[in-house]
Amino acid sequence: MAECTGKHFILNGKLMSVARFDESLVYDGESIYEVIRLIRGTPLFFPEHCERLDNSFYLQKRGNLINSLELKRDILLLTRSENPGDINIKIVFNFNKYSNYLIYFIPSNYPSEKQIKNGVKGTIFEAEREYPESKTISRSLRAEIQDHLLMRNSYEAILVNNEGYITEGSRSNIFLLKGDELFTALDKAILSGITRKQIVNICLERGIRINYSLVHMSQLSDYETVFMTGTSPGILPFCCIDKIELNPVHKILPVLRGLYNKKMEDSLHRFQTA
């Protein structure tokens, strides 16, 4: 699958033909990145993504190559070049012999209504991120996980550390439900996603209890429902994780989805009117 889709991309502030896209600018050397979802061509939760980028630069002890206003300008330059609609964009800051930044459309896969209703298959994968709180690229780990997903015919891999505790998904965050209480990992143990933060804020606003603790994979069957959150999946339950069957229907899920959708629309409006 091509890394970059569409007709154009941005390289260091300039609009370029996709024919000139070079994957070495993404994968050679070290890279910090973000993936932002566009809805009707508008970036979702843009300030939150900028904040996480700044945090990644801080943790990696690197200086940011552009500020948020310049990033917004370049995203608009790209989106206005081809009216993309609903798709994800990837922002990459690459540090090799030279420092470069790229913005480009990527192949995007959103769950179907059937998957949202019935849940998707998950599988356990033993792995830990080297820098959990920083969004960096590990091409080898990504390839290993993709192979594992294909072998298990699964939608998402649930990462466990070397002690067997569930941390996060390979491209998502994980919540577990028992009764009316949510369980999720501590922020310092994971890359806390933008969607996850919105769900946490909703729970705080609505008085829904959250227990911040790591759950051992041997205790997975003690929980009624497990769901992921992320840029593309939104809020998506599992029907099973390997051989453990789960209930994809829980009374809290439609409440979270409704309130999350409102936050999405508010975010899009703020970007368009700023």
Tokens encoding 229 = 């959150």
252 Cβ neighbours under 8 A, 6+ residues apart: 177, 180, 182, 208
Q: Is 164 left (phi over 0), alpha (psi -120 to 50) or beta?
A: left
**So what's the pLDDT on residue 63?**
83
Backbone angles phi, psi at 166, to 5 degrees: -75, 130
Closest CA to 225 of 265, 261, 256: 256
pLDDT at 51: 94
* CATH for the stretch 113-264: 3.20.10.10
CB 143 within 8 A of CB 204: no
CA distance 175 to 77: 36
pLDDT profile of the chain (274 residues), mean per 10: 89 96 91 94 96 90 90 96 93 93 95 96 88 66 90 95 93 95 92 93 95 95 96 96 96 96 97 91
Radius of gyration of the chain (CA): 19
Best CATH choice for the domain 5-106 from the list 3.90.1150.10, 3.40.50.261, 3.30.470.10, 3.40.50.11780: 3.30.470.10
Token couple for 85: 């609609």
Domain boundaries, the chain: 5-106, 113-264
pLDDT number for residue 198: 97
User: How much is the pLDDT for 1?
Assistant: 61
pLDDT of residue 156: 97
Dump pLDDT digits (tens) for 200-249: 999 999 999 999 999 999 999 999 999 999 999 999 999 999 999 999 99
